[in-house]
Amino acid sequence: MTQPIHVLIVDDIRNNITALEASLARPDLSVLKAESGPAALELLLKHEVALAILDVNMPGMDGFELAELMRGSPRTAHVPIIFLTATAQDVSRTFRGYEAGAVDFLYKPFDSRILNSKVDVFIQMERQKQQLATQLATMQQLLDANEMLMAVLGHDLRTPLSAVIASAEYLSRFVKDENVANIGTRIKSSGMRMVRMVDQLLNLARLRGGRVTLQPRAVELATLARNIVEEYEARVGKGRIFVLRQGDTLLQGDGDLLSQVFSNLIGNALQHGLEGSSVQVRLEGGANDVKIIVQNAGEIPAEILPGIFAPYRSGRRQNESSGLGLGLYITREIAEMHGGEVKVRSSAEAGTAFEVTLPRIVRPHVGDHADLAQPFRLS
C-alpha cells in the first residue's frame, strides 16, 4: 500500500486551519495541524512532510522564524514552504519570505483552486520520491539476492569441479593409454575454463553490487605480469608469452584486482589471437602513469569493436565465443576503479592491442570510496 502524504498546516487561528483542511481534503492526503511554531517543529520530528503551509503572523515564533529553523535542520531543509497570510501585500515581506526558503507566498483571501493546484505539484513530487525509494529498495534486494546466488553457485560448483580437474590431471599424467590421457587433458582444460567462468560471474555480481573495494598498496606491475605469465605457461607452454618492461612500473593499486587485469587480457589474447601466435605484454612507465599493453596477432571484427567492453560480449562473433564475455568488462571496471582507462586498437596488419592506463596514485571516480585516495609516496 502507498504511504499517506503529509501536508503540514501551521496557523494560530483554528478556524483558518479548519478552512484549509477542508480545502485540501482528499483520500491520499494526511493533514497535520499545528497552532504554533514549537508545535509544528514537534510534528516535523515525527513525520515526513511533503509540504508546509505556514501563516506568517503568529505570536511567539512567527512563520519566518519557523521557516529559518526548518531550513537549518537537515531533516526538514528539503520541505517546500508556502506562506499564507492575511496581511496586506507588501513587497518587502514577500521577499523576506522567499529569503526564508519559501517556494511561494500567497495572500488571503486565496482561491482554493489555485492553492490546490500548487499543492498537487508537491504531492506528485512526493509520490515520485516514494516510488523511487521503493524501486531503489527493490533493486538493492535483487542485487543482494543475485550476489548471494552467485556466492552459493560458486561455492557449490567449486567442490565438484576440483574433483573433476584432479581426476582429469591423474588421467592425463599417469594413465599410459594415450587416448585416455588426451581425454583427461581435454577434461582438465574444460574444467579450468568452467572455474574461470564461475570466477567471472562472482566478480560481476560483486562489481554490480558495489561489493568490490580497493585495497591500495605499493604494487610492482612487472612482478604481477610475470606471475600471471608463469601460470599461463604451465597450461600453454613456454615461448608464447613475452613480457617487455620500459621505465618504472611501481604504482599504488590493488594487487589482487590488477592481477586479474593481467589474467583477463592475457587469457583473452591467447583465446582469440591467431592459433599458435605469440602474445606480447608491454609495461611502459611514464611520469604520472603506467601503461599495460597486451598485444596479439589477429583482428577484432569492426562490428564488434564498439561494444567490446560490454558484459557478455567477447572479441569474436557470438556463435564463435567459448566464454562468458565478462573478462574485458571486468578489466574496464577495475581500471576505472583505479582512476584509469582501457582502450583497444585492432587491424589486420598490426593485430589487436588492449592498452590499460593506470595512474601512479589511485584516483577513484566520483562516487567511489573517497578514502581510497590517501597520500602515497613511491620510493
C-alpha–C-alpha distance, residues 69 and 201, integer Å: 50
Residue 251's DSSP bridge partners are 219
**Would you call 129 exposed, middle or buried from its count of C-beta atoms within 10 A (0-12, 13-18, 19+)?**
middle
Task: For the chain, give the mean pLDDT.
Answer: 82
Stretch 220-225: mean pLDDT = 94
Which one is predicted more confidently, 209 or 308?
308
Stretch 37-53: mean pLDDT = 91
Stretch 153-172: mean pLDDT = 81
Q: What is the pLDDT of residues 251-264, one digit of tens each?
A: 999 888 898 899 88
Do the bridges between strand 104-107 and strand 279-285 make them parallel or antiparallel, or are there none, so unpaired?
A: unpaired
| % the chain with pLDDT above 70 | 85
Predicted confidence band of residue 366 (pLDDT cuts 50, 70, 90): very low
pLDDT of residue 203: 67
Contact 7, 53 (CB under 8 A): yes
- How many Cβ atoms are within 10 Å of 301's Cβ, its own excluded? 12
pLDDT of residue 365: 55
Stretch 181-206: mean pLDDT = 77
